[in-house]
Amino acid sequence: MGSSIEKQIKIPFDLPNGWVWGRGRDCFSDMTNTIPTGIDFDYIDIDSIDNREHKITKPKHLNVSDAPSRAKRAVYTGSVLFSLVRPYLQNIARVSEKHKDCIASTGFYVCNSNGVLSSEYLFYLMTSPYVINGLNQFMKGDNSPSINKDDIENWLYPIPPLPEQKRITYQIEKLLTQITKIASALK
């Protein structure tokens, strides 16, 4: 992958040995559209995301006949939903097994790794200030400033080897567990 990066790009920062830069289009599988079928379905829109915890907390249970026109994005266990609308609000969440049969709004870019990134590393990468602040610069519009799928697919992402991704994820989760314990003890 590292060899497929254009020669004239501006590298955001130096990476450790063994890491490479890759564009989203080189890291993510294509998004899949679907339509609700049957009698009812669970729908994930922007309001369904807790943007502090980065979790899906309130999916809507809707009749298929009441499906919004934006209910089109297929999601899978491990998918990372990244809101295209007001990305600075950080409506980003990883899809758990519990929500794998939901349909998401087209207001999300659904990130699914093509095997280059672990789903855990992908989630922490997409919630990082580097990605959020970087993508915010592409927002357009006054009423509902948004980015588009090309902004995400053309962005450069730092890609460590898979074993390093696992170590990074382990350390982040270990620290988050400690933070949660400390916060609980302070209450």
What is the three-class DSSP state of 129?
helix
Strand order in the sheet with 40-44: 60-63, 40-44, 103-105, 71-74
pTM assigned to the model: 0.92
Going along the chain from its start, the domains and CATH numbers come out as 19-161 (3.90.220.20)
pLDDT in tens, 71-127: 999 999 999 999 999 999 999 999 999 999 999 999 999 999 999 999 999 999 999
Residue 43 has φ and ψ, to the nearest 5°, of -120, 130
pLDDT in tens, 26-81: 999 999 999 999 999 999 999 999 999 999 999 999 999 999 999 999 999 999 99
